[in-house]
Amino acid sequence: MSEMRFGKQEYKGNLLSPLPIVLIGSNVNERANYMVIGYIAPFDFGRYIFFSLYKKRHTRIGIHENGTFSVNIPSIDILKETEICGSKSGRDVDKSTLFDNFYGKLKTAPMIKQCPINIECELTEFLDYEQNDGIIGKVVQSYVNPECLTEGKLDMRKVNPIIWATGGDFNYYKLGDRIDVEEKKDD
Protein backbone atom coordinates (compact mmCIF):
# COMPACT_ATOMS: atom_id res chain seq x y z
CA MET A 1 0.00 0.00 0.00
CA SER A 2 1.29 3.46 -0.84
CA GLU A 3 2.26 5.96 1.79
CA MET A 4 -0.04 8.73 3.01
CA ARG A 5 1.48 12.23 2.96
CA PHE A 6 -0.09 15.65 3.37
CA GLY A 7 -3.49 13.98 3.73
CA LYS A 8 -3.03 12.46 0.26
CA GLN A 9 -2.31 8.92 -0.84
CA GLU A 10 0.66 8.47 -3.16
CA TYR A 11 -0.37 7.14 -6.56
CA LYS A 12 1.77 5.58 -9.25
CA GLY A 13 0.39 6.10 -12.73
CA ASN A 14 -0.86 8.78 -15.06
CA LEU A 15 -3.20 11.26 -13.42
CA LEU A 16 -3.50 13.53 -16.46
CA SER A 17 -6.62 11.73 -17.52
CA PRO A 18 -9.01 11.32 -19.26
CA LEU A 19 -7.80 12.00 -22.79
CA PRO A 20 -9.44 11.60 -26.19
CA ILE A 21 -8.55 8.52 -28.19
CA VAL A 22 -6.87 9.41 -31.48
CA LEU A 23 -6.09 7.38 -34.56
CA ILE A 24 -2.60 8.08 -35.88
CA GLY A 25 -2.41 7.56 -39.63
CA SER A 26 0.60 6.86 -41.80
CA ASN A 27 1.21 5.31 -45.18
CA VAL A 28 3.13 2.07 -44.76
CA ASN A 29 4.33 0.58 -48.04
CA GLU A 30 1.98 3.02 -49.86
CA ARG A 31 -1.10 1.84 -47.93
CA ALA A 32 -3.02 3.76 -45.25
CA ASN A 33 -2.57 2.37 -41.76
CA TYR A 34 -4.01 3.54 -38.45
CA MET A 35 -3.26 2.89 -34.78
CA VAL A 36 -4.85 4.03 -31.52
CA ILE A 37 -2.96 6.42 -29.26
CA GLY A 38 -4.31 7.35 -25.84
CA TYR A 39 -1.50 9.67 -24.72
CA ILE A 40 -1.14 12.69 -27.01
CA ALA A 41 -0.44 16.35 -26.30
CA PRO A 42 -0.57 19.56 -28.28
CA PHE A 43 1.98 22.21 -27.40
CA ASP A 44 3.13 25.65 -28.57
CA PHE A 45 -0.56 26.67 -28.69
CA GLY A 46 -1.47 23.71 -30.89
CA ARG A 47 1.16 24.30 -33.56
CA TYR A 48 2.90 21.02 -32.62
CA ILE A 49 1.75 17.62 -31.39
CA PHE A 50 3.67 15.09 -29.28
CA PHE A 51 3.01 11.40 -28.68
CA SER A 52 5.07 8.31 -28.08
CA LEU A 53 4.81 4.83 -29.50
CA TYR A 54 6.58 1.51 -29.17
CA LYS A 55 9.35 1.09 -31.71
CA LYS A 56 7.82 -2.21 -32.86
CA ARG A 57 4.59 -0.55 -34.06
CA HIS A 58 3.80 -0.94 -37.75
CA THR A 59 2.63 2.70 -38.08
CA ARG A 60 6.11 3.86 -37.05
CA ILE A 61 7.51 2.52 -40.34
CA GLY A 62 5.29 4.88 -42.33
CA ILE A 63 6.16 7.88 -40.19
CA HIS A 64 9.85 7.16 -40.85
CA GLU A 65 9.28 6.48 -44.59
CA ASN A 66 7.30 9.65 -45.30
CA GLY A 67 8.11 12.10 -42.51
CA THR A 68 4.36 12.70 -42.11
CA PHE A 69 1.41 11.44 -40.08
CA SER A 70 -2.17 12.34 -39.31
CA VAL A 71 -4.11 12.69 -36.08
CA ASN A 72 -7.76 11.68 -36.41
CA ILE A 73 -10.24 12.10 -33.57
CA PRO A 74 -12.95 9.44 -33.90
CA SER A 75 -16.48 9.76 -32.60
CA ILE A 76 -18.31 7.09 -30.67
CA ASP A 77 -20.04 6.24 -33.97
CA ILE A 78 -16.92 4.38 -35.14
CA LEU A 79 -15.97 2.72 -31.84
CA LYS A 80 -15.91 -0.77 -33.41
CA GLU A 81 -13.44 0.26 -36.14
CA THR A 82 -11.38 2.22 -33.62
CA GLU A 83 -11.13 -0.84 -31.40
CA ILE A 84 -9.83 -2.89 -34.35
CA CYS A 85 -7.14 -0.25 -34.91
CA GLY A 86 -6.18 -0.51 -31.25
CA SER A 87 -6.10 -4.31 -31.06
CA LYS A 88 -4.79 -5.49 -34.46
CA SER A 89 -1.46 -4.78 -36.15
CA GLY A 90 -1.28 -3.37 -39.65
CA ARG A 91 1.15 -6.21 -40.37
CA ASP A 92 -1.82 -8.61 -40.08
CA VAL A 93 -4.89 -6.51 -40.96
CA ASP A 94 -5.43 -4.06 -43.83
CA LYS A 95 -6.84 -1.14 -41.84
CA SER A 96 -7.14 1.04 -44.96
CA THR A 97 -10.38 -0.83 -45.75
CA LEU A 98 -12.01 0.14 -42.43
CA PHE A 99 -12.53 3.77 -43.43
CA ASP A 100 -12.91 6.20 -46.31
CA ASN A 101 -9.40 7.65 -46.57
CA PHE A 102 -8.42 11.07 -47.91
CA TYR A 103 -5.22 13.08 -48.28
CA GLY A 104 -4.59 16.79 -47.83
CA LYS A 105 -1.65 19.09 -48.44
CA LEU A 106 1.04 16.60 -47.42
CA LYS A 107 -0.16 13.83 -49.80
CA THR A 108 1.32 11.08 -47.58
CA ALA A 109 -0.62 11.46 -44.31
CA PRO A 110 -3.85 9.44 -44.67
CA MET A 111 -6.89 10.81 -42.88
CA ILE A 112 -10.28 9.29 -42.06
CA LYS A 113 -13.45 10.89 -43.47
CA GLN A 114 -15.58 9.30 -40.71
CA CYS A 115 -13.58 11.15 -38.02
CA PRO A 116 -14.99 14.60 -37.22
CA ILE A 117 -11.48 16.07 -36.70
CA ASN A 118 -8.36 15.44 -38.80
CA ILE A 119 -4.91 17.01 -38.45
CA GLU A 120 -2.03 16.67 -40.93
CA CYS A 121 1.43 16.77 -39.38
CA GLU A 122 4.94 16.93 -40.69
CA LEU A 123 7.49 15.06 -38.59
CA THR A 124 9.95 17.42 -36.95
CA GLU A 125 11.67 15.20 -34.40
CA PHE A 126 12.10 11.63 -33.18
CA LEU A 127 13.12 11.24 -29.53
CA ASP A 128 14.67 7.92 -28.49
CA TYR A 129 13.27 6.55 -25.22
CA GLU A 130 14.78 3.04 -25.30
CA GLN A 131 11.70 0.94 -26.22
CA ASN A 132 9.64 3.94 -27.38
CA ASP A 133 9.98 6.82 -29.80
CA GLY A 134 8.77 10.28 -28.95
CA ILE A 135 7.21 11.79 -32.06
CA ILE A 136 6.92 15.54 -32.56
CA GLY A 137 5.02 16.84 -35.54
CA LYS A 138 4.26 20.31 -36.82
CA VAL A 139 0.59 20.85 -37.61
CA VAL A 140 0.33 21.67 -41.32
CA GLN A 141 -3.46 21.72 -41.71
CA SER A 142 -6.50 20.88 -39.59
CA TYR A 143 -9.97 19.86 -40.79
CA VAL A 144 -13.32 19.59 -39.02
CA ASN A 145 -16.77 18.46 -40.08
CA PRO A 146 -18.90 21.63 -40.40
CA GLU A 147 -21.70 20.07 -38.32
CA CYS A 148 -19.29 20.03 -35.34
CA LEU A 149 -19.16 23.82 -35.25
CA THR A 150 -21.44 26.10 -33.27
CA GLU A 151 -21.26 29.72 -34.37
CA GLY A 152 -17.95 28.97 -36.10
CA LYS A 153 -16.33 27.39 -33.01
CA LEU A 154 -15.57 23.74 -32.35
CA ASP A 155 -18.22 22.11 -30.17
CA MET A 156 -16.76 18.94 -28.66
CA ARG A 157 -20.25 17.73 -27.75
CA LYS A 158 -20.97 17.48 -31.48
CA VAL A 159 -17.65 15.71 -32.10
CA ASN A 160 -18.71 13.08 -29.54
CA PRO A 161 -15.15 11.84 -28.97
CA ILE A 162 -14.17 8.56 -27.36
CA ILE A 163 -12.52 9.37 -24.03
CA TRP A 164 -10.04 6.97 -22.43
CA ALA A 165 -9.26 6.85 -18.71
CA THR A 166 -5.51 6.42 -19.07
CA GLY A 167 -4.67 6.46 -15.40
CA GLY A 168 -7.73 4.92 -13.87
CA ASP A 169 -9.67 1.86 -14.92
CA PHE A 170 -8.41 1.97 -18.54
CA ASN A 171 -11.92 2.05 -20.04
CA TYR A 172 -13.66 4.14 -22.68
CA TYR A 173 -16.03 6.96 -21.73
CA LYS A 174 -18.06 9.60 -23.50
CA LEU A 175 -17.92 13.33 -22.98
CA GLY A 176 -20.26 14.71 -20.35
CA ASP A 177 -22.19 17.94 -20.13
CA ARG A 178 -20.65 21.33 -20.81
CA ILE A 179 -20.27 23.49 -17.73
CA ASP A 180 -21.45 27.03 -18.29
CA VAL A 181 -19.70 29.46 -15.99
CA GLU A 182 -21.57 32.68 -15.49
CA GLU A 183 -19.51 35.84 -15.49
CA LYS A 184 -19.46 37.53 -12.13
CA LYS A 185 -20.48 41.14 -12.37
CA ASP A 186 -19.08 43.85 -10.18
CA ASP A 187 -21.81 45.56 -8.14
Q: What is the CATH number of the domain that holds 133?
A: 2.30.110.10
Number of other residues whose CB lies within 10 A of the CB of residue 109: 31
Considering the domain boundaries, does residue 79 fall inside one? yes
Does residue 120 form part of some domain?
yes
Cβ-based neighbour number of residue 185 at 10 Å: 5
Full domain range(s) for residue 68: 20-174
Weakest-pLDDT range from 5-19, 51-65, 110-124: 5-19
What pTM, to 2 d.p., does this model score? 0.90
How far, in Å, CA of 147 to CA of 101, rounded?
19
Task: Answer whether residue 8 is part of any domain.
Answer: no
Residue at 131 is within a domain: yes
User: What is the tens place of the pLDDT at every residue in 130-163?
Assistant: 889 999 999 999 999 999 999 999 999 999 999 9
Residue 24 domain flag: yes
Residue 59 forms part of a structural domain: yes
Average pLDDT of the chain to the nearest whole number: 91
Tell whether 13 is covered by a domain.
Answer: no
| Structural domain contains residue 148 | yes
Is residue 43 over pLDDT 80?
Answer: yes
Phi/psi at 19 (nearest 5 deg)? -130, 155
Q: State how many domains the chain has.
A: 1
* Cβ proximity of 90 and 63 under 8 Å: no
Q: Are 49 and 136 in contact (CB under 8 A)?
A: yes
